[in-house]
């Protein structure tokens, strides 16, 4: 495979995501410790906060994508979205309750909802169809490299200053400002505008395969327990609070290392096949985490879990590009992101509740059942694709 050279926009957006994810993952990596030691809350509250935050973002994702298509502007949504998320980071200094953190987290995810579909539209419209998978994989790689450094920086801060959560929040804010500044150099891109197309108020504008894809994506996402909740396994095994970001770093390291190869696999063998492999890997990760009784096995579990988003996040966007019309590309990404987000609401709230009240293994089993159902629906999309294009 030839070395990938990203278009200018893809590189710059990847740089933006690198700084933003470094900032965001510093915060997310300490959430389990922050909830248990400062807020005195457990898995149920953590899952509830993550679920509510994703829920608030979902509605914004749909309408941000739709409005971006209507006015054929992408960059303003990115600036506003990244700016809002970064602005929430210092607010954690004032938070002293679960409800307060929930409000801040919701505002953060609203920013994500504003930027995500227009951002993905710029990436896809700046890239040739032959390299779509690698473009999104490259973006995921830079995004997740920030995700590797974020937990590591958080660990070093907590190791030097035990329970120094405020220092983490301040540093995260400063790094986040770099993400917003890097957007200055991104060039806006518009797609072909087709007169007479139906509004995104109706799914009729999209083909049947895209609609089935949304069903599969909801089921798969409903089975994807948030990594912030999975990290609570470290406390079940008695590890220190400062060590939690290290396990998150292993997850991110695996994620970043395989993102670009996963995109290349998508271009060669098809995004549907790669997605099925990715969710099968998630099931394996659940099994490893469920049976982990020590640091080595648990570390292995998070390394396996990191392969899952590498095989699915960027690839899911590439598949959405394949199944949707160009003139409604940002709207399609809005629907894809929103559908996945609604599934994550279910995964966060229900997964966290089951984890806290019935145990780790029951939560992982419930998640696994939804993932299996989603893989089955995704397989029907492959069958239909074969009839029309010879299969992927």
**CA triple 143-146-152, angle to 5 deg:** 150
Number of C-beta neighbours around residue 130 at 10 A = 8
pLDDT at res. 204: 63
- Gap between the Cα atoms of 154 and 232, Å rounded: 17
pLDDT greater than 80 at residue 355: yes
Q: How many domains is the chain partitioned into structurally?
A: 1
pLDDT at res. 384: 41
* 203 band by pLDDT with thresholds 50, 70 and 90: low
Domain region containing 69: 8-185+200-389
Structure-model confidence comparison of residues 208 and 290, the more confident one:
290
CATH label of the domain that carries residue 349 = 1.20.1250.20
Residue 190: inside a domain: no
- Gap between the Cα atoms of 278 and 311, Å rounded: 5
pLDDT at res. 62: 72
**CA triple 381-362-316, angle to 5 deg:** 25
Residue 2: inside a domain: no
Residue 287: inside a domain: yes
Structure-model confidence comparison of residues 326 and 119, the more confident one:
119
Distant-in-sequence, close-in-space partners of 377: CB < 8 Å, separation ≥ 6: 212, 215, 216, 219
Distant-in-sequence, close-in-space partners of 19: CB < 8 Å, separation ≥ 6: 146, 175, 176, 178, 179, 182
Residue 195: inside a domain: no
Structure-model confidence comparison of residues 210 and 370, the more confident one:
370
- Gap between the Cα atoms of 139 and 120, Å rounded: 10
Work out the average pLDDT over 181-188.
90
Could you report how far apart the first and last alpha carbons of the chain are, in Å?
19
Q: Would you say 100 and 39 are in contact if contact means Cβ atoms under 8 Å apart?
A: no
pLDDT greater than 60 at residue 383: no
> pLDDT tens, 104-127?
998 998 998 899 888 888 888 888
pLDDT at res. 205: 67
Residue 62: inside a domain: yes
pLDDT greater than 50 at residue 260: yes
Residue 282: inside a domain: yes
Residue 374: inside a domain: yes
Residue 372: inside a domain: yes
């Amino acid at each position: 495979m030839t070395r990938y050279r990203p278009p200018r926009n893809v590189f710059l957006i990847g740089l933006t995501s690198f700084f933003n994810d470094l900032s965001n993952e510093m915060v997310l990596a300490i959430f389990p410790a922050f909830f248990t030691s400062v807020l005195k809350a457990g898995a149920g509250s953590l899952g509830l906060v993550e679920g509510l935050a994703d829920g608030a973002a979902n509605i914004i994702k749909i309408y941000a994508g739709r409005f971006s298509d209507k006015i054929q502007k992408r960059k303003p949504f990115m600036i506003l979205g990244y700016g809002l998320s970064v602005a929430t980071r210092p607010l954690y200094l004032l938070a002293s309750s679960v409800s307060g953190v929930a409000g801040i987290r919701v505002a953060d995810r609203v920013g994500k909802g504003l930027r995500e579909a227009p951002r993905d539209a710029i990436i896809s419209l700046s890239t040739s169809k032959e390299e779509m998978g690698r473009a999104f994989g490259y973006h995921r790689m830079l995004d997740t490299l920030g995700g590797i450094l974020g937990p590591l920086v958080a660990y070093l801060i907590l190791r030097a200053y035990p329970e120094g959560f405020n220092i983490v929040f301040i540093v995260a804010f400063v790094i986040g400002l770099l993400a917003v500044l890097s957007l200055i150099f991104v060039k806006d891109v518009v797609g072909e505008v087709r007169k007479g197309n139906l509004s995104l108020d109706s799914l009729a504008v999209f083909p049947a395969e895209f609609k089935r894809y949304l069903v599969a994506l909801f089921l798969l996402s409903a089975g994807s327990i948030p990594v912030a909740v999975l990290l609570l396994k470290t406390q079940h095994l008695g590890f220190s609070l400062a060590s939690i970001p290290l396990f998150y770093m292993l997850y991110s390291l695996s994620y970043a290392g395989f993102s670009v190869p996963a995109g290349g696999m998508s271009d060669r063998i098809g995004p549907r096949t790669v997605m099925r492999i990715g969710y099968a890997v998630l099931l394996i990760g659940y099994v490893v985490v469920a049976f982990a009784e020590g640091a080595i096995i648990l570390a292995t579990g998070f390394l396996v879990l990191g392969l899952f988003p590498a095989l699915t996040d960027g690839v899911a966007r590439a598949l959405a590009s394949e199944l949707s019309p160009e003139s409604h590309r940002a709207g399609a990404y809005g629907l894809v992101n929103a559908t996945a987000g609604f599934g994550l609401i279910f995964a966060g709230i229900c997964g966290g509740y089951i984890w806290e009240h019935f145990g780790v293994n029951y939560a992982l089993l419930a998640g696994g059942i939804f993932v299996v159902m989603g893989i089955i629906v995704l397989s029907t999309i492959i069958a239909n694709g074969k009839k029309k294009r010879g299969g992927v």
